[in-house]
């Protein structure tokens, strides 16, 4: 059953096309990896899917709601961890949870109970009264995991949830996420530059480059079609070896742009 | 309602958890009270206008409310930069409620700041005409606080990064303050500048505070109230609209 449906999605910033006619589907309950080099358009797509950026054109359906007509219902359906932290540093961990709970109109009795449950889940209960400004990067991430799931969304959007984290914390975060997925049948849409995370955890993978879909499928089908042994090989074969400068000159990127798309 | 309350509370906590800022924001009004109050006092008196401190204090209260309110409003820029704004914008709370919660929170901080300045003024010799009009004065303080928090929020919603901050201070806050009758009576100033003061909401706020505290007035307290109230409602509507269009 499809839970996220994207059709011909386009986002232009002035003359620069960040997302270029993107279409894909995500099935309910799967872990979906959304990959691409720096500047490929991942964050821009996530922002459009999570209703804070208006598409230039195209259709998005999330949890069967249309993004143009049912924004509030869509917002209720998902939780999100953005690429950069979105916590309030001047509040404690518990206060951040409470603020979230109030905004999602949760029941009074549930707020304390669920805050405790999820803060314990990410091993932060003993830090509940510590100001977030005193948290390490890893602790902030764990708090964001707890917060993103507090209102029990159907979908989790995670934009590089493990970027900048040490191996231990990364493993922990994935442990939490897998548990959440098993227990609550939640759909997880994530981006990452650690391709082994996609190899290990993703049921389905999409690779985009220059805002365009390059390939989509399961890990094995991608490896088969590109005749490669690892996702990294496939990724490099599909997106080239040169380094991406963000906002690279439009004409240059046009020349470099791969003309073929794997289907 | 819950969302408005929690966003209000967040702004208020940010305010009282930063005593450095509270004190920092008091520096300028106190300096103005002392420098202008004692500096221009004798000239004012010689011109036959009476006690300058009585005239000046409502203006300085207005100034401290203006500054705190605009700065609270502009915090939207910080929240854009440090990400917290996204957390509110993806939530199922209608944007107008987010705007209202933030604005009321910032306005609460600005109001408290105005009250602190009032209390300080009592110590340097300010004598309210009667204490029974204090609640009325407070209403003007609150309206000024709401107006300028909403204005700060609206302007910050239109800006991309913090670079515009200094621009707002120099080209918005300072002219609004100096052309509001905070420091000198506006009935005596030349026509062109007077027109500016007539469109300046702070003029009515300060005139209202001044009338209720000292019986000195230009427009009359009733006019002050209706005009400022109307302007505040307008800015809330316009500000909410602008805020609701934010894209990140
Ligand atoms: N508001 C904006 N205005 C102009 N250009 C933008 C804006 N936001 C993003 N871009 C550009 O769009 C392109 C895609 O950016 P995006 O952040 O979506 O990439 P990404 O795939 O998330 O990259 P990364 O892996 O580095 O996070 C980049 O070239 C970026 O510079
Ligand atoms: Mg990104």
- Selected for mutation to probe chain B from A13, A103, A130, A189 (highest B CB count within 10 Å) is A103
Determine the pLDDT at residue B187: 80
Asked whether residue B232 carries a pLDDT value surpassing 90, the answer given is: yes
Asked whether residue A115 carries a pLDDT value surpassing 90, the answer given is: yes
To the nearest whole angstrom, how far is the Cα of B166 from the nearest Cα of chain A? Answer: 24
Evaluate whether B124 touches B33 at the Cβ level (below 8 Å).
yes
For residue A44, the ligand closest to its alpha carbon is 1
| Of A35, A43, A53, best ligand 1 pocket probe by most atoms within 8 Å of the beta carbon | A43
Residue of A nearest to B90 (CA): A75
Tell me, yes or no, whether A44 lies in a domain. yes
Flag if B92 and A72 touch (Cβ within 8 Å): yes
Does residue A247 have its Cβ closer than 6 Å to ligand 1? yes
Measure CB to CB from residue B10 to each of A86, A91, A104 and give the nearest one. A91
Asked whether residue A23 carries a pLDDT value surpassing 80, the answer given is: yes
Give B70-119 as a DSSP string.
HHHHHHHHHHHHTSHHHHHHTSSS-HHHHHHHHHHHHHHHHHHHHHHHHH
pLDDT band at A247 (very low <50, low <70, confident <90, very high): low
Residues of B with Cβ-Cβ distance to A67 under 8 angstroms: none
Burial class (CB in 10 A: 0-12, 13-18, 19+), A57: exposed
- For residue B173, report the distance from its CA to the centre of ligand 2, in Å: 37
Determine the pLDDT at residue A260: 46
Does residue A211 have its Cβ closer than 6 Å to ligand 1? no
Q: Alpha helices, DSSP H only, in chain B?
A: 2-16, 19-46, 52-81, 84-89, 95-123, 134-158, 164-168, 174-178, 191-198, 201-214, 221-244
Return the number of CB contacts < 8 Å for A and B: 68
A216-231 pLDDT tens trace: 999 999 999 999 999 9
Any idea what the CATH number is for the domain that residue A66 is in? 3.40.50.300
Please state, in angstroms and rounded to a whole number, the distance separating the CA atoms of residues B131 and B136.
Answer: 10
Q: Residue A204: which H helix or E strand, with range?
A: strand A204-209
- For residue B105, report the distance from its CA to the centre of ligand 2, in Å: 32
To the nearest whole angstrom, how far is the Cα of A91 from the nearest Cα of chain B? Answer: 8
For residue A207, the ligand closest to its alpha carbon is 1
Flag if A99 and B6 touch (Cβ within 8 Å): yes
pLDDT band at A246 (very low <50, low <70, confident <90, very high): low
Measure CB to CB from residue A52 to each of B17, B18, B90 and give the nearest one. B90
Which of residues B186 and B141 earns the better pLDDT score? Answer: B141
> Which sign, positive or negative, has the C-alpha torsion B72, B73, B77, B83?
positive
For residue A45, the ligand closest to its alpha carbon is 1
Determine the pLDDT at residue A144: 96
Domain that holds residue A73: 2-84+134-215
Min mean pLDDT across A54-63, A132-141, A253-262, B136-145 is at A253-262
Flag if B92 and A100 touch (Cβ within 8 Å): no
B119-134 pLDDT tens trace: 999 999 899 988 889 9
Asked whether residue B13 carries a pLDDT value surpassing 90, the answer given is: yes
Domain that holds residue B95: 2-244
Determine the pLDDT at residue B8: 98
Does residue A38 have its Cβ closer than 6 Å to ligand 1? yes
- For residue A204, report the distance from its CA to the centre of ligand 2, in Å: 19
Does residue A192 have its Cβ closer than 6 Å to ligand 1? no
Flag if B84 and A95 touch (Cβ within 8 Å): no
Measure CB to CB from residue B10 to each of A54, A82, A88 and give the nearest one. A88
Q: Looking only at Cα atoms, what is the longest distance across chain B? A: 61
Evaluate whether B8 touches B108 at the Cβ level (below 8 Å).
yes
Flag if A103 and B248 touch (Cβ within 8 Å): no
For residue A37, the ligand closest to its alpha carbon is 1
Determine the pLDDT at residue B46: 84
Say how many domains are in chain B. Answer: 1
Residues of B with Cβ-Cβ distance to A92 under 8 angstroms: none
> Which sign, positive or negative, has the C-alpha torsion A227, A231, A234, A238?
positive
∠ CA(A122), CA(A124), CA(A128), 5° rounding?
140
Determine the pLDDT at residue A255: 40
Flag if B13 and A105 touch (Cβ within 8 Å): no
Tell me, yes or no, whether A128 lies in a domain. no
Flag if A52 and B248 touch (Cβ within 8 Å): yes
Mean pLDDT within A30-42: 97
CB-CB neighbours of A248 under 10 Å: 15
Determine the pLDDT at residue A245: 64
Please state, in angstroms and rounded to a whole number, the distance separating the CA atoms of residues B103 and B143.
Answer: 11
B179-222 pLDDT tens trace: 999 998 888 788 888 888 999 999 999 999 999 999 999 999 99
pLDDT band at A158 (very low <50, low <70, confident <90, very high): very high
Determine the pLDDT at residue B205: 98
Average pLDDT, chain A: 92
Say how many domains are in chain A. Answer: 1
To the nearest whole angstrom, how far is the Cα of B101 from the nearest Cα of chain A? Answer: 11
Asked whether residue B110 carries a pLDDT value surpassing 80, the answer given is: yes
Tell me, yes or no, whether A237 lies in a domain. no
Residue of A nearest to B82 (CA): A86
B47-104 pLDDT tens trace: 888 889 999 999 999 999 999 999 999 999 999 988 999 999 999 999 999 999 999 9
Does residue A41 have its Cβ closer than 6 Å to ligand 1? yes
Evaluate whether A191 touches A159 at the Cβ level (below 8 Å).
yes
Interface predicted TM-score (ipTM) of this complex, two decimals = 0.91
Tell me, yes or no, whether A149 lies in a domain. yes
Please state, in angstroms and rounded to a whole number, the distance separating the CA atoms of residues B186 and B204.
Answer: 11
Determine the pLDDT at residue A263: 46
């Amino acid at each position: 059953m499809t839970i996220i449906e994207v059709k011909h999605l386009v986002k232009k910033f002035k003359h620069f096309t960040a997302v270029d006619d993107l279409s894909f589907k995500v099935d309910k309950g799967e872990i979906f990896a959304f990959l691409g080099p720096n500047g490929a358009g991942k964050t821009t797509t996530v922002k459009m899917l999570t209703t804070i950026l208006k598409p230039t054109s195209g259709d998005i359906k999330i949890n069967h709601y249309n993004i143009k007509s049912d924004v509030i219902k869509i917002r209720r359906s998902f939780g999100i961890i953005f690429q950069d932290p979105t916590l309030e540093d001047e509040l404690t961990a518990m206060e951040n949870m409470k603020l979230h709970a109030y905004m999602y109109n949760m029941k009074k009795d549930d707020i304390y109970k669920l805050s405790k449950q999820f803060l314990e889940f990410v091993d932060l209960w003993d830090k509940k009264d510590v100001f977030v400004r005193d948290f390490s990067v890893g602790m902030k991430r764990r708090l964001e995991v707890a917060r993103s799931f507090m209102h029990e969304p159907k979908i989790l959007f995670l934009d590089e949830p493990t970027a900048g984290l040490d191996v231990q914390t990364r493993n922990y975060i994935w442990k939490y996420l897998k548990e959440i997925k098993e227990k609550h049948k939640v759909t997880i849409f994530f981006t990452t530059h650690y391709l082994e995370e996609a190899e290990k955890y993703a049921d389905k993978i999409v690779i985009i480059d220059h805002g365009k879909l390059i390939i989509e499928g399961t890990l094995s089908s991608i490896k088969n079609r590109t005749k490669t042994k690892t996702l990294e090989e496939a990724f490099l074969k599909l997106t080239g070896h040169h380094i991406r400068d963000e906002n690279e000159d439009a004409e240059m990127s046009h020349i470099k742009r791969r003309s073929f798309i794997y289907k | 309602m819950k969302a408005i309350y929690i966003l209000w509370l967040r702004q208020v906590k940010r305010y009282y958890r930063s005593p450095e800022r509270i004190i920092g924001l008091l520096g300028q009004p106190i300096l103005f009270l002392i420098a202008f109050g004692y500096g221009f006092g004798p000239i004012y008196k010689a011109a036959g206008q009476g006690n300058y401190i009585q005239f000046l204090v409502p203006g300085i209260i207005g100034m401290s409310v203006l500054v705190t309110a605009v700065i609270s409003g502009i915090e939207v820029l910080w929240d854009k930069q440090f990400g917290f704004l996204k957390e509110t914008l993806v939530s199922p709370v209608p944007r107008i409620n987010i705007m209202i919660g933030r604005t009321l929170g910032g306005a609460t901080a600005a109001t408290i700041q105005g009250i602190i300045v009032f209390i300080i003024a009592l110590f340097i010799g300010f004598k309210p005409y009667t204490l029974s009009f204090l609640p009325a004065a407070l209403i003007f303080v609150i309206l000024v606080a709401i107006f300028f928090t909403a204005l700060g929020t609206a302007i910050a919603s239109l800006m991309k990064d913090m670079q515009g901050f200094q621009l707002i201070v120099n080209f918005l806050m300072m002219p609004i303050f100096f052309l509001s009758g905070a420091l000198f009576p506006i009935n005596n100033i030349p026509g062109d500048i007077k027109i500016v003061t007539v469109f300046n909401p702070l003029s009515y706020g300060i005139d209202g505070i001044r009338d209720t505290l000292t019986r000195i007035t230009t427009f009359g307290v009733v006019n002050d109230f209706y005009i400022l109230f109307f302007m505040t409602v307008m800015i809330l509507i316009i500000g909410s609209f602008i805020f609701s269009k934010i894209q990140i």
